[in-house]
Amino acid sequence: MPAFLSRTCLAFLAATLLLAAPLRPAQAGDLSRAFLLPELFEIMAEEGRRSAVADGEIPLQGRALAEFKRDVAAIYDAEAMRAAFEASLMAELASQPDVLADALDFAATELGGRILRLEISARAALLEDEIEEISRITLEEARDADGPRAARLDMVRARIDANDLVDLNVSLGLNTSLAYYRGMLSAQATQLLGADDLLSLVWSQEELLRADIEDWIESYFLLAYQPLSDEDLRTYTEYLSTPFAQAFNLAMFTAFDQVFSDLSVELGRVMGQGMVAEEL
């Protein structure tokens, strides 16, 4: 899988009760504001744009490269991404109004609001290469440490496990990788690869993708939750383990999967078009 797809995976919270009642239109706006979705998608769009045009990742040059960069800027449009995500998430939650109500209630608490802001701030900070490098070093040190630093990493891992974030992000990453190659196929850029070949290619990346996600997500949460007390982090993890919170997390991942799979198809298509153009 292209390296620039592995960052499309990280989400936040989280169950499984199906209740029949339509959502009020206002609730989409409530959710967007409560979970800071405009800020999140500005960051994710920037991550996508940077990763897609990273040095060494693009087998294009000249006019084809310039056109690809233009297309990437259009594909990673933060407002369009957020609108698509909200529509998908609202569809997922339409039969689960109690799940949505619970998520909004938690976001409205002092602890919930503070944690959401910390997560956004850390995500934005990691756009800086220096901060990302420091966060990786901090993680390695915590993995080798004993005492309080090791205990803190254990708490972060418990938070990750509460929402099964590694497995869900691996699944999302594999799905977006497959979507990317399907986009390339649609542009006739990989004529020698069939469906079975694509599946084998994608699955061959699972181990490396899992390791990358584990490193990123642990370093991210160590950074994000640094200001939290151990008690606050335990309280948060307990909340994330509740059925409503887990249902919300699954709905979020379903929506992310839809949005980023669609983006990846488009990204693969424009990459494929550029590769075909250079061959002509």
Q: What pLDDT sits at residue 200?
A: 83
Q: What pLDDT sits at residue 4?
A: 36
Q: Is residue 58 within 8 Å of residue 69, measured between CB atoms? A: no
Q: Is residue 118 within 8 Å of residue 224, measured between CB atoms? A: yes
Say which residue the tokens 């590769």 belong to.
275
Amino acid at 131: I
Q: Which of these, 232, 192, 231, lies nearest to 110 by C-alpha position?
A: 232
CA dist 123 and 82 (Å) reads 16
Residues belonging to the chain: 280
Q: What pLDDT sits at residue 280?
A: 57
Q: Which residues of the chain have pLDDT under 50?
A: 1-23, 25-26
Query: For the chain, what is the HEC assignment?
Result: CCHHHCCCCCCCCCCCCCCCCCCCHHHHHHHHHHCCHHHHHHHHHHHHHHHHCCCCCCCCCHHHHHHHHHHHHHHCCHHHHHHHHHHHHHHHHCCCHHHHHHHHHHHCCHHHHHHHHHHHHHHHHCCCHHHHHHHHHHHHHHHHCCCHHHHHHHHHHHHHHHCCHHHHHHHHHHHHHHHHHHHHHHCCCCCCCCHHHHHHHHHCCHHHHHHHHHHHHHHHHHHHCCCCCHHHHHHHHHHHCCHHHHHHHHHHHHHHHHHHHHHHHHHHHHHHHHHHHHHC
Residue 143, Cβ neighbours under 10 Å: how many? 12
Say which residue the tokens 């196929």 belong to.
185
Q: What pLDDT sits at residue 276?
A: 81
First to last CA, the chain: 26
Q: Which of these, 185, 202, 193, lies nearest to 6 by C-alpha position?
A: 202
Q: What pLDDT sits at residue 18?
A: 28
| Residue 55 CA from chain centroid, whole number | 22
Q: What pLDDT sits at residue 191?
A: 62
Q: What six digits make up the tokens of 16?
A: 């499984």
Residues 6+ apart with CB under 8 A from 213: 6, 9, 166, 169, 170, 173
* pTM recorded for the entire structure: 0.86
